[in-house]
Amino acid sequence: MNQTSPTRLNLLSLKTQHGLAKDGVRLLRSKRDALIMEFFTLMGDAAKFRDTLEKDTEDAFASLIMAKAFLGEDILTSAAYAHKRDINIDIEAKNIMGVIVPHIEDRNIKRAVDARGISPVIESYRITEVAERFEDVLNDIVKVASKEIKLKRLGREIQTTTRRINVLEEILIPSLVNRIRRIERVLEEREREDIFRLKRFKRLTIIISSD
């Protein structure tokens, strides 16, 4: 690192940088604390949705096994193709403490019985049950994905913010403090030398005047 010239102007500049760096640490700490609170709130929600997803998945596969046992695989395969559809998911950007995270719109993907294209009168109730159970699973997956995407983005931002705080506290601020102290020592030494020279000059002036 280049040595800063020991001048009062540079000293003032370094002290200003030091103050800004300390303010930066305070702001980054506040941001990190807010992000951590949001992170743990989302983590709790994600855990609940994951528990629901696991339970609904177990129920869905249980109904699938029962339907396969009673109806056979061919009928289930035909019904699966009949129920096939495209699903559109709306994703928007959400700002959390300056961090842009994707937000998946929370909407019900589950269809009514008559919206599946097959009459519930002629369709086996077991097929209807399987379709309903797996649509519940699909709803859960969308909710879990929305929460976990945010968690990953917030987690990365917390790590980045922590690294910035560490750089400021462990590298930049100590460096500024050392440079400030060095310049202050040089300036104090110069001031003492100036005072010594001034006193010496006064003594010489007095001696010359007396002669």
Domain locations along the chain: 8-205
Domain 8-205 CATH class label: mainly alpha
Q: 56 vs 6, 46, 94, 131, 135, CA distance in Å?
A: 71, 15, 29, 12, 10
Distance CA 158, CA 42 (A): 14
With cut-offs at 50, 70 and 90, classify the pLDDT of residue 119: low
Residue 96 has pLDDT above 90, yes or no: no
With cut-offs at 50, 70 and 90, classify the pLDDT of residue 101: confident
> What pLDDT does 193 receive?
80
> What pLDDT does 209 receive?
63
> What pLDDT does 19 receive?
96
> What pLDDT does 112 receive?
65
